[in-house]
Chain A
Amino acid sequence: MEYERFSNNQHDSVEEFFERYHAFARQPVVKSFFLNEENKQLLEKALVEKTEESRRRLDEKFRDFYRRAKWTKYFSNLIYFNSINFDKRTRTYYEKYLTILNQPLSDKETDSEDEWIDIISKETTDPVEEIVKDSERLEDHIQDEKLYDAIQQLSKLQKEVLALIYVDQLKIKEVAAIRKTSSQNISKIHRQAIAKLKKYYKER
């Protein structure tokens, strides 16, 4: 009973505080600060105990809360306006400095009559890619490490057949013609090779 009265008393003191300083309590930052029950308890404590320590703790907590709110607001605006300004800036930059392909390479008087467009290379593929692209070996076309290991398990014949089917995208019939054997045979080699790969994957 005693305790309840005490807590009631505390609660009243908070309400009373809010009523007395209603202009202050109506401030958005104050309102949101006291949405947190913990902060309300801090205020209760400060009002009831009236000690320097409890007052200071509330003060610090509020200062920190206010600062975070202020920073968040400030940075939100900063991010927003900076993005817009940056966009404007880059746009004007590209409008002013167009890439003109048929202007001379340098303003100095040189013998060369090369223009910008001449130094743009046509092929931009990776040289390694270029070499590998034409390789007949099945392994050269594999990027996945596990699959690469799995393919090492296959026989030379199996690898060759798989390369013809998957890399060169030939039909079984066409492969059979190249290998001078029946398409049933190629089909069988193909099936066995796939089964071997599957088995390797399962065991790992």
Chain B
Amino acid sequence: MKQEHDLITEFITHMEPKIKKSIKYTSFQERDDLEQEIKLKMVETVSRGVIKETPGFWEFKQSFD
């Protein structure tokens, strides 16, 4: 869990430009709200475990056998 916590922080920083770009289409007064909402949603998806755990290499390979 600790690792995921670090990873989400890294991801938010990493995707900052994309967020900034997407909020450009919103009116000026709402931008900060939207940015915060997006970041909150990102943290929520991770903490709720919405994205399934990914398989390892050999496991993934086996699913094609």
Which residues on A are within 8 Å of B, measured CB to CB? 21, 23-24, 27, 30, 55, 58-63, 66-67, 70-72, 74-76, 78-80, 82-83, 86-87, 90
- Distance between Cα atoms of A76 and B14 in the complex (Å): 11
Given the complex of chains A and B, what is the CA–CA distance between A79 and B23 in angstroms? Answer: 9
Judging by beta carbons under 8 Å apart, are B54 and A59 in contact?
Answer: no
7 nearest interchain CB pairs?
A62-B57, A59-B56, A24-B64, A66-B54, A83-B22, A67-B54, A63-B56
Residues of the B chain whose Cβ atoms lie less than 8 Å from the Cβ of A74: 45, 50-51
Contact assessment for A75 and B42 in the assembled complex, using a CB-CB cutoff below 8 Å: yes
Contact A90 B45 (CB under 8 A): no
A79 x B18 contact (CB < 8 A): yes
Which B positions have Cβ atoms within 8 angstroms of A?
Answer: 7, 11, 15, 18-19, 22-23, 25-27, 30, 33-34, 37-38, 41-42, 45, 50-51, 53-61, 64-65
Looking at chain A's contact residues, the main secondary structure is: helix
Q: Which residue of chain A has the shortest Cβ distance to B20 in the bound complex?
A: A79
Whether A76 touches B26, Cβ cut-off 8 Å, given contacts A59-B56, A66-B54, A82-B38, is: no
Interface contacts beyond A76-B18, A80-B22: sample of 6 additional A-B pairs, CB < 8 Å, sorted by A: A59-B58, A66-B54, A74-B51, A82-B34, A83-B23, A83-B34
Asked whether, in the complex, the Cβ of B42 is within 8 Å of the Cβ of A78, the reply is yes
Is the Cβ of B38 less than 8 Å from the Cβ of A83? yes
Distance between A62 CB and nearest chain B CB, rounded to angstroms: 4
Given A62-B57, A63-B56, A74-B45, do A86 and B34 touch, yes or no (CB 8 Å)?
yes
Given A21-B61, A59-B56: A86 and B19 interface contact (C-beta under 8 Å): no
- Docked complex Cα distance between A83 and B60 (Å): 34
Chain B positions within 8 Å of A23 at CB level:
64
- Docked Cα-Cα span, A76 to B31, in Å, equals 18
Given contacts A78-B41, A78-B42, A82-B41, contact A90 B55 (CB under 8 A): no
Chain B nearest CB from A33 CB (Å) reads: 8
Complex partner residue of B58 from A55, A67, A76, A87, CB under 8 angstroms: A55
Residues of A within 8 A of B42 (CB): 75, 78
Given A78-B45, A79-B15, A82-B38, does the pair A58, B57 have CB atoms closer than 8 Å?
yes
